Amino acid sequence: MRLFLTQSSVFYFSLTWILTTLFIGTGVGVAQYENYQEQVPGSNAMLPMVYIEAGTFKMGSQKSEKGHFGDEGPQHTASIDGFWMGQFEITWDLYNLFVSREIDGNQVIKTTSNEAQVNVDAVSGATTPYVEMSFGMGIDNYPAICMTQLAAVKFCEWLSAMTGNFYRLPTEAEWEYACRAGSETAYSFGDDSSQLIDYAWYGENSNEKYQKVGTKKPNPLGLYDMHGNVAEWTLDQYIPTAYRKRNKSVINPLEEGEKIYPKVVRGGSWMDNPNRLRSAARRPSSKKWKRRDPQIPKSKWWHTDAPFVGFRVVRPLKTPSDQEQKKYWKYELTD
Partner 1 sequence: MNNKNKKQKNESRRAFVQKTAMATGALLTLPMGVEGMARVNGNQKLKLALVGCGGRGSGAAVQAIIADENVELVAMADAFGDRIERSLKGIQDYFDGEKKINVKEKNRFVGFDAYKKAIDLADVVILTTPPGFRPYHFEYAIANDKHVFMEKPVATDPVGIRKVLATAKIAKEKKLNVVVGLQRHYQSKYIDLKNRIDAGEIGKIRSGQVYWNDAGVWVKKRKPGQSELEYQMRNWYYFNWLCGDHILEQHIHNIDVANWFIGDYPVSAQGMGGRQVRNGKDHGEIFDHHFVEFTYASGAVISSQCRHIPGTMSRVDEVFQGTRGNIETSKGQITDLEGILQYKYSKKEANYDTASNVNEDPNPYQVEHDKLFASIRSGGVISDAENGAKSTLSAILGRMATYTGKKITFDQALNSKLHLMPSEVTWDSVPPSLPDINGNYPIPTPGKTKFI
Binding site for partner 1 (CB under 8 A): 96, 99-100, 102, 127-128, 130-132, 134-136, 139, 208, 262, 269, 271-272, 284, 286, 288-289, 291-298, 305-308, 334-335
Smallest gap from residue 268 Cβ to partner 1 (A)? 10
Q: Answer for the pair 95, 128: CB distance below 8 angstroms, yes or no.
A: no
Letter string b/e over residues 207-240, b meaning 16 or more CB atoms within 10 A of that residue's CB: eeebbbbbebebbebbbbbbbbbbbbbbbbbbbe
Smallest gap from residue 36 Cβ to partner 1 (A)? 26
Q: Answer for the pair 126, 154: CB distance below 8 angstroms, yes or no.
A: yes
By beta-carbon proximity to partner 1, the closer residue of 175 and 308 is 308
Smallest gap from residue 281 Cβ to partner 1 (A)? 13
Q: Answer for the pair 248, 30: CB distance below 8 angstroms, yes or no.
A: no
Smallest gap from residue 307 Cβ to partner 1 (A)? 6
By beta-carbon proximity to partner 1, the closer residue of 53 and 293 is 293
By beta-carbon proximity to partner 1, the closer residue of 20 and 295 is 295
User: Left, alpha or beta for 298 (phi > 0: left; psi -120 to 50: alpha)?
Assistant: beta
Query: At a CB cut-off of 8 Å and minimum separation 6, what does 53 contact?
Result: 31, 33, 82
By beta-carbon proximity to partner 1, the closer residue of 28 and 296 is 296
By beta-carbon proximity to partner 1, the closer residue of 3 and 296 is 296
Q: Which residues pair with 177 in a beta bridge?
A: none
Sign of CA dihedral 132, 134, 136, 140: negative
Query: At a CB cut-off of 8 Å and minimum separation 6, what does 133 contact?
Result: 145, 146, 302, 304
Q: Which residues pair with 38 in a beta bridge?
A: 47
Smallest gap from residue 301 Cβ to partner 1 (A)? 12
Smallest gap from residue 120 Cβ to partner 1 (A)? 18
By beta-carbon proximity to partner 1, the closer residue of 73 and 138 is 138
